[in-house]
Structure 1
Amino acid sequence: MGRYVLRRLLQMIPVFFGTTLLIYLLVWVVPGDPFAGKCGERDCPDSYINEMREKFNLDDPFFVQYFKYLGNLLQGDFGETYSGRPVSELIAGAYPVSLRLAVVALLIEAVIGITAGVLTGLSKRRFLDNLVLVSTLFLISVPVFVTGFVLQFVFGLQLDIFPPTVPDRNASVFDLLLPGLALASLSMAYVARLTRASIAENKRADYVRTAVAKGLHPRRVVGVHLLRNSLIPVITFLGADLGAFLGGAIVTEGIFNVPGLGGLIFRSIASKEGAVVTGIVVLLVLVYLVLTLLVDLAYAVLDPRIRYD
């Protein structure tokens, strides 16, 4: 196991450098003047532009800029905005609320999706099976922004059960339940269908028949033998989804006024703050790499037949 983890960590190094190079290149080639509108309605003076271009190394060749940025990044310096504010400070303010929202959405997705998938995978009653299939198809077909607006209007404004917007960055889990449900709605449908298909396939496997023939309690057969093996593809999906929730919640955060990474990315792209966009995406790349490793290690926990030598 230790050698496998070390090998995976070494494999992350070229992946990290490759993804950061691609991200920096995409930000670097975005057209437009990064200093447009920075001086109000009038154009910025040439002296200011020249000073800023020298400060942010904008006149250097691309690879020189990249390696300077990478050198600072490896020292924990994410750079600063054109207004002089540290990027790490912006990320530190927005990241915690996005992380809490992502975790809430992941828990909702996992609990409801896996429960629905297990019940339909084991059930021989076609009504329950058809009900879940129709419900998940509906969630897959409806865009997330429509789901978010409906949840906000019904449960936030009409019934007044949940707050319609997130009050601030110190929002509680209760405040994040509604946007978390909207964010998880699409993935929850996929998890339910994926779990259902996996359960239906594995319940006919030889090891399940053997467990039943040995007289084990049905709960033990399902919980220990059937569910653990069936969750392997689901865990892979959930691990990737956590990273997607962190960076892909722009629409949901906009609907519920969540002051997280999604809104920060959108504003930074609109204002051409390349350092902020690059810093956030680099952080998300690191999250994806760590989650991928943890998911792979979880396989051995779920299925004892899997060994990493």
Structure 2
Amino acid sequence: MGRYILRRLLQLIPVFIGTTFIIYSLVWAIPGNPFAGLCGPRGCPPSFVEQMTEQYNLDKPLPVQYVLYLGQLFQGNFGETFNGIEVSTLIQNAYPVTIKLATIALVFEAVIGIAAGILTALRGKGFVDNLVLAATLFLIAVPVFVSGFVIQVVLGVQLDWIDPSVGSDPTIGELLIPGFVLGSLSMAYIARLTRTAMFENKRADYIRTATAKGLTPRRVVSVHMLRNSLIPVITFIGTDFGALMGGAIVTEGVFNIHGIGGLVYQAINKQEGVTVTGVVTLLVLVYLLMNLLVDILYAALDPRIRYD
């Protein structure tokens, strides 16, 4: 296991370099002047544009720009915005909120989605199965911003059960509803994925063997059937954590949450390439580490999987 983890960590290096180079190229290779809107409608004087171009290494070839940026990144320096604010400071202020929001969404989708999938698989075709399928189809069909707006209006404005707008330093309780909205789409996919995997494993030979040996139905389901059925679900959940953090722009906008999504949205509008590159680079790291964690969990879920 130790050698496998070390090998995977070494494999992350070229993947990280390749993905961050593509991100950097897409952000900074966009045509146009990134400093056009800094000085208002009159435009910036040529001397200021020349100074900023030199400061952000935009006068150098793109590969050289990336190497210089990567050198700063390895020192923990995400760069500065055009206004002189450290990008690491912006991330430090916004990231904890998004982490809490994504974690709450992940808990909702894992607990409710897996429970619904197990329930429908064990009960078989019937009312519960049709109800879960209809509910998950509804969640998949309705966009997240629509469900978020409806919940905000109904629960926040009409019933006054929640605050329609989340504060600048939200608590776990204030993030429960936004987290449920953010994880609702993935919750539907997990429920269907768990249901399908459980149905397939119910007819497997090892399940019939375990039943023939006289094991209790609870042990057959929990120890044998569920562990193997959760392998594709764990894969989805692991990769979805990064997607939740990067895709929270709409949910954070609906509930006025000051997190990573809002930070990226503002940076794109202001053409702050340094902020966009820094945040997306951090999300790439989250994706890579979560994929590594998922691969390690495979061996714990399926005893047939061993890493030499």
Paired amino acid for 2:89: E
2:289 matches 1:287: no
Q: Hey, what's the Cα distance between the residues in 2 that align with 1:162 and 1:192?
A: 27
Q: Hey, what's the Cα distance between the residues in 1 that align with 2:19 and 2:107?
A: 29
Q: Hey, what's the Cα distance between the residues in 2 that align with 1:248 and 1:178?
A: 16
Paired amino acid for 1:306: I
Q: Hey, what's the Cα distance between the residues in 1 that align with 2:158 and 2:216?
A: 46
Q: Hey, what's the Cα distance between the residues in 2 that align with 1:125 and 1:308?
A: 38
Q: Secondary structure at the match of 1:85?
A: coil
TM-score, scaled relative to structure 2: 0.98
Q: Hey, what's the Cα distance between the residues in 1 that align with 2:210 and 2:154?
A: 47
Q: 1:63 maps to what in 2?
A: 63
1:214 CA displacement: 2.3
Residue correspondences, number = 308
Paired amino acid for 1:113: G
Q: 1:195 maps to what in 2?
A: 194
Superimposed CA distance per residue, residues 84-115 of structure 1 (whole angstroms, 9 cap, x where no aligned partner): 10110011111000000000000000011000
Q: Hey, what's the Cα distance between the residues in 1 that align with 2:118 and 2:110?
A: 12
Q: Hey, what's the Cα distance between the residues in 2 that align with 1:35 and 1:74?
A: 26
TM-score, scaled relative to structure 1: 0.97
Q: 1:87 maps to what in 2?
A: 87
Unpaired stretches in structure 2, ≥5 consecutive residues: none
Q: 1:268 maps to what in 2?
A: 267
Identity of aligned residues (%): 64
Q: Secondary structure at the match of 2:77?
A: coil
2:30 matches 1:30: yes
Unpaired stretches in structure 1, ≥5 consecutive residues: none
Correspondence 1:222-301 to 2 at 5 A: 222-301=221-300
Q: Hey, what's the Cα distance between the residues in 2 that align with 1:268 and 1:65?
A: 20
Of the structure 1 ranges 24-33 and 295-304, higher mean CA displacement relative to structure 2 is found in 24-33
1:125 CA displacement: 4.8
Superimposed CA distance per residue, residues 59-92 of structure 1 (whole angstroms, 9 cap, x where no aligned partner): 1111111111111111111100011101100111
1:206 CA displacement: 1.7
Q: Hey, what's the Cα distance between the residues in 1 that align with 2:112 and 2:151?
A: 17
Divergent runs of 4+, >6 A: none
2:73 matches 1:73: yes
CA RMSD across the alignment: 1.0
Q: Secondary structure at the match of 1:194?
A: helix
1:19 CA displacement: 0.4
1:124 CA displacement: 2.9
Q: Hey, what's the Cα distance between the residues in 2 that align with 1:125 and 1:235?
A: 25
Q: Secondary structure at the match of 1:34?
A: coil
Paired amino acid for 1:285: V
Q: Secondary structure at the match of 1:41?
A: coil
Q: Hey, what's the Cα distance between the residues in 2 that align with 1:273 and 1:103?
A: 28
Q: Hey, what's the Cα distance between the residues in 2 that align with 1:159 and 1:215?
A: 53
Q: 1:207 maps to what in 2?
A: 206
Superimposed CA distance per residue, residues 286-305 of structure 1 (whole angstroms, 9 cap, x where no aligned partner): 11010000000001111111
Are the equivalent residues in 2 in contact too, given 1:162–1:174 (CA < 8 A)? no
